[in-house]
Amino acid sequence: MLKVEGINVYYGAIHALKDLSITVNEGEIVTLIGANGAGKSTLLKTLSGLLKPKTGSVEFLDKSITNQSIQSIVKQGLIHCPEGRRVFANMSVEENLELGGYLQDSSSLPADFEKVYTTFPRLLERKKQLAGTLSGGEQQMLAMGRAMMGHPKLLLLDEPSMGLAPLLVQDIFRIIQEVNASGTTVLLVEQNAHQALKIAHRAYVLETGRVVLEGDAKELADSEEIKMAYLGH
């Protein structure tokens, strides 16, 4: 579904992604793990078009999206749910969701609302509330719901568990699995490697802009190397 081949991304003089290649198959949850600064978020931003790679190619659904605009990438169903929630604080929950469906035909809105509210009943309770007044967990749900409004075929989630209480983290991961089960492929960036490896099918380990390990998530979770470096035991 997604095929990234040998991309190099720079922030000015800083070489952030070095000849990086990954693939994501339809129906999978693939997780990217790695320390701060490994290039996980940079990769997601490159996929969604917020950053442009200097060399290399990105293919989505067998079509190159390497130099396409963000709008057309979003239209094709590759939706990025950015790090740090980034809800529209002075808009209501409902307005936030509506903007998530910005590029969709308005006739599909009611069904999309229905779907998001079924996945996140909490959002339905708060639909008239300003997004800025929601709790951290609710804001994360809203950010994910907003991304779902865009009919994602591939959903990029950047650190959905960041700064959330442990119980909520469990919730969020359960929801990611539900979303995946309903037919959305997920590419998940996580600091919480333990949880991420639990729900993912496959994983890539990034270090300073390169893929250093890849494979089956369960196997990686059991490997001594990963345990030492990321799981802390």
Partner 1 sequence: MKKLKLNKSFWFGIVFSLILYGIIRVLLTTGVLDDVAESTLILVCINVMLAVSLNLINGITGQFSIGHAGFMSIGAYVSAILTLNFDVPLVFALLIAGLVAALFGVLIGIPTLRLNGDYLAIATLGFGEIIRIVLLNTEYVGGASGLSGIPAETTWTIMFFFTLLTIVVINNFIRSSHGRACIAIRENEIAAEAMGINTTLYKVIAFSLGALFAGIAGGLSAHKFYVINPGSFNFLKSFEILVMVVLGGLGSTAGSILGAIVLTLLFTALQNTPELRMIIYSVILILMMIFRPKGLLGSTGLSFMKFGKKEAKPDDVISESSSS
In the complex, the smallest distance separating the C-beta of residue 30 from partner 1, rounded to whole angstroms, is 19
Of 70 and 212, CB closest to partner 1: 70
Nearer to partner 1 among residue 123 and residue 197 (C-beta): 123
Nearer to partner 1, 102 or 174 (CB): 102
Within the chain, residue ranges assigned H as helices are 40-47, 70-75, 93-100, 109-119, 121-125, 136-148, 166-181, 193-199, 217-222, 224-226
Q: Could you tell me if residue 139 is left (phi over 0), alpha (psi between -120 and 50 degrees) or otherwise beta?
A: alpha
Helix (H, G, I), strand (E, B) or coil at 131: helix
CB of 106 to partner 1, least distance (A): 5
Residue owning tokens 């099918």: 201
Least CB distance from residue 113 to partner 1, whole Å? 4
Chain residues binding partner 1 by CB under 8 A are 48, 50, 69-71, 74-75, 79-82, 86-91, 94-95, 98-103, 106, 109-110, 113-114, 117, 124, 127, 143, 146-147, 150
Amino acid residing at 124: L
Q: Which is nearer to partner 1, 112 or 171 (CB)?
A: 112
Bridge partners, residue 14, by sequence: 11
Shortest separation between residue 223's beta carbon and partner 1, angstroms: 34
